[in-house]
């Protein structure tokens, strides 16, 4: 245990229906005085975690420690924690003063002290003299400030902010971001901030916790998260990125997008990798120079730079450059070794544990995830024969496949997405996808919560219900040795 | 020749017709009869008679006692019930709400008759407790009318308000008194209005419960059945003013609270 830690989450999990986990095995330490941001797409469980720290939900498993004492089951009013709610949740029947003094009144604070504290809190949020105003006469931004004042006036050890800026307009949001950061410095209170806006997270935080599917994807400083994404999800979610599948070669060289690049990362030659290149790290050079060459397909002005897309053979590269290039212009692209970030390929993708069924005339049934298929026996047992309706191995011994454990794998590029539900092997909903150079990589989640990764050149939408067709002859089935 | 065209504004005609025939004209008739004597001359005699006659004033007081008691008991029962139905664990299952609302589908004299049988088993002779039985009958009759407005108020109540209260250090009881109660005031007002007036006038329940004391409704009924239109009307008009005054006062109380915080 570290005494620097204000709050510690230890293997916290949460399930509402007892079956599917909204939060899985979540462990995190937050130091005193830190500004921590939970960042993730909607539905990733970031608000659930916040609610558990605030005491509005109780964890199904694990512990939440505050200064080394377990607060997992403590009601919200017993925690030295205050929350700024997404929709402010100010009491409409009370004026500004009574809203801010709500917590102080419950503590039976003497009136003079209370008046002083309230006016101090209003001063911090830049709304001095607003005591007597009615809540309903305030603008969204002002209500937001009152909600913050109402929370910080109680001097909590920890302030929780649940997407507090999402209802404000762009300019107001930018302003509040800086003000909140300033406030955090001045007050010295630990902040936990929840947002789905990656720019907001990068601007404000000391530490970012990137979440997806109820799991932590990466914890780090904004620079670490941006420059060294731990996996393809983080690379795709934070900022813009070009992602390519590739293979490591000798001497820190890597090949992808039909070319070879020097990198600074050490990986075993032959390792499958994903290469991440930020659009601003690509230099446009004269045609023929650089590692790639291609034709400009679009160039759009974005205020401080041009978003330029360059088609290099089958692969597309997004480039942010200061100069405008004409559509159709031939250019060369160069990426410095420092600017290529290598992520080891996730080898657990599309691997499933399965069980064999009995041998019949149709073959052997293989059951894995939520799929059941019949497979020719030769595919599993090399050199086997069928003798008088019996399955025999090379030596003529009878094989009984029933109940044997197998691992099933299929390559993402051999499967197909279909919109005819009955045509595929299994159906599900597109959970996430990202673009890899020349195609999209889709993760389809079935109703039984199994993930199938499928490569497809066409654009589908997140949340689309699709059917996945997996050709049986492309499945790799290997027996697990017992 | 002009074709007869249909304008959207024409949709208002049936409503205006209904309003004039069944609301405005009867009201005018009541006021006319209330403030004239038998020969059609303007007179405040009926009006003054009501306030000077100890019997009618006694009836007014008795009606108020019944109405206040019934309203308070209904509120005490309906408030937690409506809260649980709207915010409780089974809030999404409308089955439980149906259980409380279903009695409204059955004619109320039938329900009171059934209640009488039950009370007879308990009390043996209903005539011994006329007041208590009247209260029980009315509470049973009016409870759904109290639950529905409160239920609506609670379903609209933002749960994050309750969470904010808890977050700022309020325990369960403080959350109830300092957050839930003030937020549900509009619901309480409309629920009370739904029950208070019927409780002052619904004399059928009294009759069925062998309660021979008069309430406002019975007074009006007795005048009308003896063809004394003038006295019956003036009491109706007085009741109308009474309710109007109550509504204005409660609205004023609620509004001035909001205004005070705005000033």
Give tens-digit pLDDT for A174-222.
988 999 999 999 989 999 999 999 989 999 999 999 999 889 999 999 9
Whole-number Å distance between alpha carbons of A205 and A227? 15
A17 and chain B: CB distance < 8 Å anywhere?
no
Q: Could you tell me the domains of chain A?
A: 5-227 (3.40.50.300), 240-344 (2.40.50.140), 351-479 (2.40.50.140)
Task: List the single residue in B158, B160, B169 with the smallest CB-CB distance to A77.
Answer: B169
The H-or-E segment that residue A380 falls in is none
Q: Residue A77 in 3-state DSSP?
A: helix
Whole-number Å distance between alpha carbons of A338 and A277? 10
The 10 Å Cβ neighbour count of residue A95 is 22
Instruction: Find chain B residues with C-beta within 8 A of A102's C-beta.
Output: 165, 168, 170, 178
How many Å lie between the alpha carbon of B150 and the closest alpha carbon of chain A? 18
Instruction: Find chain A residues with C-beta within 8 A of B257's C-beta.
Output: 93
Residue in chain B lying closest to A150 (CA) = B168
A98 and chain B: CB distance < 8 Å anywhere?
yes
Instruction: Find chain A residues with C-beta within 8 A of B167's C-beta.
Output: 54-56, 76-77, 81-83, 151
What pLDDT was estimated at residue B168? Answer: 94
Whole-number Å distance between alpha carbons of A37 and A42? 14
Q: Could you tell me the domains of chain B?
A: 24-262 (1.10.3720.10)
What pLDDT was estimated at residue A46? Answer: 92
Residue in chain A lying closest to B254 (CA) = A93
A95/B261 touch (CB, cutoff 8 Å), yes or no: yes
Residue in chain A lying closest to B185 (CA) = A93
Task: List the single residue in A77, A89, A94 with the smallest CB-CB distance to B261.
Answer: A94
pLDDT band per the 50, 70, 90 thresholds, residue A419:
confident
Taking chain B (263 residues) in consecutive chunks of 10 residues, what is each chunk's mean pLDDT? 72 92 92 85 86 88 92 94 86 79 85 90 82 92 91 90 94 92 88 87 85 85 89 89 81 63 46
B261/A154 touch (CB, cutoff 8 Å), yes or no: no
B178/A82 touch (CB, cutoff 8 Å), yes or no: no
- Neighbouring C-alpha atoms within 13 Å toward the C-beta of B222: 13
B167/A75 touch (CB, cutoff 8 Å), yes or no: no
Summarize the confidence of residues A120-148 as an average pLDDT.
Answer: 91
A106 and chain B: CB distance < 8 Å anywhere?
yes
pLDDT band per the 50, 70, 90 thresholds, residue A288:
confident
Whole-number Å distance between alpha carbons of B35 and B46? 7
What pLDDT was estimated at residue B263? Answer: 43
B263/A132 touch (CB, cutoff 8 Å), yes or no: yes
What pLDDT was estimated at residue A272? Answer: 87
Nearest 5°: the CA angle A248, A254, A255 is 105
Give tens-digit pLDDT for B64-109.
899 999 999 999 999 999 999 888 877 677 788 888 888 888 888 8
What pLDDT was estimated at residue B258? Answer: 53
Instruction: Find chain A residues with C-beta within 8 A of B171's C-beta.
Output: 75, 77
- With the C-alpha atoms ordered A111, A112, A115, A116, is the resulting torsion angle positive or negative? negative
Summarize the confidence of residues A365-375 as an average pLDDT.
Answer: 87
B261 and chain A: CB distance < 8 Å anywhere?
yes
What pLDDT was estimated at residue B262? Answer: 46
Residue in chain A lying closest to B257 (CA) = A93
What pLDDT was estimated at residue B246? Answer: 79
What pLDDT was estimated at residue A331? Answer: 93
A87/B170 touch (CB, cutoff 8 Å), yes or no: no
**Exposure string over A308-329, b if 16+ CB within 10 A, otherwise e:** bbbebeebbbbbbbeeebeeee
Please state which of the ranges A32-46, A68-82, B38-52, B154-168 shows the lowest mean pLDDT. B38-52
Tokens representing residue A466 in the block: 């699709």
Task: List the single residue in A86, A91, A134 with the smallest CB-CB distance to B258.
Answer: A134
Query: For chain A, what percent of residues have pLDDT higher than 70?
Result: 99
What pLDDT was estimated at residue A147? Answer: 94
What pLDDT was estimated at residue B205? Answer: 87
Mean pLDDT of all residues belonging to chain A: 89
A86/B160 touch (CB, cutoff 8 Å), yes or no: yes
Give tens-digit pLDDT for A196-207.
999 899 999 999
Instruction: Find chain B residues with C-beta within 8 A of A154's C-beta.
Output: 168-169
Residue A451 scores a pLDDT above 70: yes
8 A C-beta contact, residue A263 and residue A254: yes
């Amino acid at each position: 245990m570290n005494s620097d830690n204000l709050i510690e989450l230890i293997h916290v999990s949460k399930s509402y229906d007892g079956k599917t986990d909204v939060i899985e095995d979540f462990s995190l330490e937050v130091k005193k005085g830190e500004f921590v941001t939970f960042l993730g797409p909607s539905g990733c469980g970031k608000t659930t975690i916040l609610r558990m720290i605030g005491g509005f939900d109780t964890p199904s498993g694990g512990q939440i420690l505050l200064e080394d004492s377990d607060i997992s089951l403590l009601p919200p009013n017993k925690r030295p924690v205050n929350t700024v709610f997404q929709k402010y949740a100010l009491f409409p029947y009370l004026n500004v003063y009574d809203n801010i003094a709500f917590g102080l009144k419950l503590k039976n604070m003497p009136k003079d002290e209370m008046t002083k504290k309230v006016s101090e809190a209003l001063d911090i949020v830049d709304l001095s003299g607003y005591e007597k105003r009615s809540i309903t006469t305030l603008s969204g931004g002002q209500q937001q400030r009152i909600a913050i004042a109402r929370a910080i006036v109680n001097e909590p050890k920890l302030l929780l902010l649940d997407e507090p800026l999402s209802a404000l307009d762009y300019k107001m949001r930018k302003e509040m971001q800086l003000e909140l950061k300033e406030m955090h410095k001045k007050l010295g209170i630990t902040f936990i901030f929840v947002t789905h806006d990656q720019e907001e997270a990068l601007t404000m935080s000391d530490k970012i916790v990137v979440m997806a599917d109820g799991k932590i994807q990466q914890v780090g400083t904004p620079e670490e998260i941006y420059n060294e994404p731990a996996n393809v999800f983080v690379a795709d979610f934070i900022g813009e990125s070009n992602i390519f599948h590739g293979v490591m070669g000798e001497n820190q060289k890597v090949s992808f997008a039909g070319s070879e690049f020097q990198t600074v990362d050490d990986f075993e030659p032959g390792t499958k990798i994903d290469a991440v290149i930020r659009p601003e790290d690509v230099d446009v050079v004269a045609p023929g120079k650089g590692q790639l060459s291609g034709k400009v397909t679009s160039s759009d002005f974005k205020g401080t730079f041009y978003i330029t897309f360059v088609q290099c053979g089958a692969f597309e590269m997004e480039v942010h450059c200061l100069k405008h290039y004409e559509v159709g212009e031939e250019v060369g692209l160069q990426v410095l070794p420092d600017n290529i970030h290598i992520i080891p390929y996730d080898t657990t993708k599309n691997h499933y544990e399965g069980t064999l069924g009995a041998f019949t005339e149709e073959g052997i049934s293989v059951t894995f995830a939520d799929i059941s298929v019949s497979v020719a026996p030769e595919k599993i047992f090399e050199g086997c024969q069928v003798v008088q309706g019996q399955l025999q191995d090379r030596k003529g011994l009878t094989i009984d496949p029933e109940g044997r454990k197998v691992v099933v794998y299929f390559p993402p590029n051999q499967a197909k997405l279909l919109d005819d539900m009955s045509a595929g092997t299994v159906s599900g909903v597109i959970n996430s996808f990202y673009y890899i150079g020349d195609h999209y990589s889709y993760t389809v989640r079935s109703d039984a919560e199994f993930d199938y990764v499928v490569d497809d050149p066409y654009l589908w939408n997140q949340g689309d219900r699709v059917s996945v067709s997996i050709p049986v002859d492309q499945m790799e089935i290997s027996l697990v040795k017992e | 020749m002009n074709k007869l065209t249909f304008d959207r504004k024409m949709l208002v005609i049936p409503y205006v017709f209904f309003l004039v025939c069944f609301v405005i004209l009867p009201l005018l008739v009541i006021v006319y009869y209330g403030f004239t004597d038998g020969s059609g001359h303007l007179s405040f005699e009926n009006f003054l008679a009501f306030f000077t006659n100890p019997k009618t004033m006694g009836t007014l007081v008795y009606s108020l006692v019944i109405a206040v008691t019934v309203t308070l008991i209904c509120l005490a029962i309906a408030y937690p019930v409506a809260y649980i139905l709207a915010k409780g664990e089974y809030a999404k299952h409308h089955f439980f709400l149906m259980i409380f609302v279903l009695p409204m589908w059955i004619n109320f004299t039938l329900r009171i008759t059934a209640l009488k049988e039950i009370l007879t088993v308990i009390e043996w002779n209903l005539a011994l407790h006329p007041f208590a039985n009247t209260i029980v009958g009315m509470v049973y009759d009016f409870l759904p009318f109290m639950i529905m407005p409160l239920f609506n108020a609670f379903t609209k109540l933002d749960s994050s308000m309750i969470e904010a209260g808890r977050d700022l250090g309020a325990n369960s009881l403080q959350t109830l008194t300092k957050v839930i109660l003030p937020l549900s005031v509009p619901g309480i007002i409309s629920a009370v209005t739904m029950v208070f007036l019927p409780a002052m006038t619904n004399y059928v329940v009294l009759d069925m419960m062998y309660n021979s004391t008069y309430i406002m409704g019975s007074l009006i009924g007795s005048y009308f059945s003896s063809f004394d239109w003038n006295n019956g009307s003036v009491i109706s008009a007085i009741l109308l003013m009474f309710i109007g005054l109550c509504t204005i006062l409660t609205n004023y109380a609620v509004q001035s609270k909001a205004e005070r915080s705005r000033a």
